[in-house]
Amino acid sequence: MQLTTQHFIALLPLLITSATVVVVMLGIAWKRNHTLTFGLSVLGLNLALLSLLPALGVTPIEVTPLLLVDKFACYYMALVLAATLACVTLTHAYLGGESGKGYPGNREELYLLMLLSAAGGLVLVSAQHLAGLFIGLELLSVPTYGMIAYAFFNKRSLEAGIKYMVLSAAGSAFLLFGMALLYAESGNLTFAGIGAQLAANGLPSMLAQLGVGMMLIGLAFKLSLVPFHLWTPDVYEGAPAPVAAFLATASKVAVFAVLLRLYQMSPAMAGGWLSDLLTLIAIASIIFGNLLALLQNNLKRLLGYSSIAHFGYLLVALIASKGLAVEAVGVYLATYVLTSLGAFGVITLMSTPYNGRDCDALYEYRGLFWRRPYLTAVLTVMMLSLAGIPLTAGFIGKFYVVAAGVQSQQWWLLAALVIGSAIGVFYYLRVMVTLFMAEPNMHRHDAPFDWAQRAGGIMLLVVAVLAFALGVYPQPLLELVQQAGLVAVLP
Partner 1 sequence: MILPWLILIPFIGGLLCWQFERFGNVLPRWIALLTMGLLFALGLWLWATGDFSLAPAPGAAPQWAAEFQVPWIERFGISIHLALDGLSVLMISLTGLLGVLSVLCSWNEIQNRVGFFHLNLMWILGGVVGVFLAVDLFLFFFFWEMMLVPMFFLIALWGHSGSDGKTRITAATKFFIFTQASGLIMLLAILGLVFVHFNQTGVLTFNYADLLQTKMSAGTEYILMLGFFIAFAVKFPVVPFHSWLPDAHAQAPTAGSVDLAGILLKTAAYGLLRFALPLFPNASAEFAPIAQWLGVFAIIYGALLSFAQTDIKRLVAYSSVSHMGFVLIAIYSASEIALQGAVVQMLAHGLSAAALFILCGQLYERLHTRDMREMGGIWARMPWLPALSLFFAAAALGLPGTGNFVGEFLILLGSFQSAPWVTIVAATGLVFGSVYALIMIHRAFFGPAKADTTLPGLQLRELSMVLGLAVLLILLGVYPQPVLDTSAASMQGVQQWLGNALNQPVLAR
Options 50-58, 236-244, 411-419, 460-468: segment touching partner 1 (CB under 8 A): 411-419
Q: For residue 172, give every residue at least 6 positions away whose Cβ sits within 8 Å of its Cβ, in sequence order, or none.
A: 134, 137, 138, 141, 218
Cis geometry, peptide bond prior to residue 60 (ω within 30 degrees of 0): yes
Per-residue contact string for residues 388-407; x = within reach of partner 1 by CB under 8 A: -xxx---x---x--xx--xx
Alpha helix (H) residue ranges in 353-474: 368-371, 373-387, 393-407, 411-436, 455-472
479: contact with partner 1 by CB under 8 A: yes
Helix (H) or strand (E) holding 181: helix 155-186
Q: Which is nearer to partner 1, 135 or 425 (CB)?
A: 425
Please state the closest distance from residue 296 (CB atom) to partner 1, in A: 16
CA-to-CA dists, residue 470 to 82, 249, 325, 338, 396, angstroms: 16, 18, 19, 10, 8
Tell me: does residue 452 bind partner 1 (CB under 8 A).
no
Query: Could you tell me which of 341, 336, 300, 347 has the C-alpha nearest to residue 464?
Result: 341
Among 31, 441, 475, 488, which residue sits at the site for partner 1 (rule: CB under 8 A)?
Answer: 475
User: Closer to partner 1 at the Cβ: 64 or 407?
Assistant: 407
Question: What span, in angstroms and rounded, lies between the C-alpha atoms of 383 and 394?
Answer: 9
Q: Distances from the Cα of 212 to the Cαs of 180, 182, 387, in angstroms?
A: 10, 7, 33
Choice from 419, 452, 466, 486 touching partner 1 (CB under 8 A): 419
Shortest Å distance, C-beta 378 to partner 1: 16
> With respect to partner 1, which residue has the nearer C-beta, 114 or 384?
384
Tell me which DSSP letter residue 248 carries: I
Give least dist CB 439 to partner 1, A.
Answer: 12
- Give, as one character, the DSSP assignment of residue 205: P
Among 3, 230, 429, 465, contact with partner 1 (rule: CB under 8 A): 429
430 binds partner 1 (CB under 8 A): yes
Instruction: Write down the least CB distance from residue 128 to partner 1, Å.
Output: 28
Q: Is 421 in the site for partner 1 (CB under 8 A)?
A: yes
Cβ atoms 340, 248 nearer than 8 A: yes
Q: Is the peptide bond before 491 cis (omega within 30 degrees of 0)?
A: no
Size of the site for partner 1 (CB under 8 A): 30
Which amino acid belongs to residue 41? S
Identify which of residues 47 and 389 has a Cβ nearer to partner 1 in the complex. 389
Site string for partner 1, 370-389 (x = CB under 8 A): --------------x--x-x
What long-range pairs does 154-157 form, CB within 8 A, spacing at least 24? 154/238, 154/356, 154/357, 156/234, 156/237, 156/238, 157/238, 157/239, 157/240
Stretch that binds partner 1, among 170-178, 290-298, 338-346, 467-475 (CB under 8 A): 467-475
Instruction: Fill in the per-residue mask, 316 to 345: x = in contact with partner 1 (CB under 8 A), - = not in contact.
Output: ------------------------------
Among the listed residues 282, 244, 248, the one whose alpha carbon sits nearest the alpha carbon of residue 263: 282
Contact residues for partner 1, defined by CB under 8 A = 384, 387, 389-391, 395, 399, 402-403, 406-407, 414, 417-419, 421-422, 425-426, 429-430, 433, 436, 473-475, 478-479, 482, 491
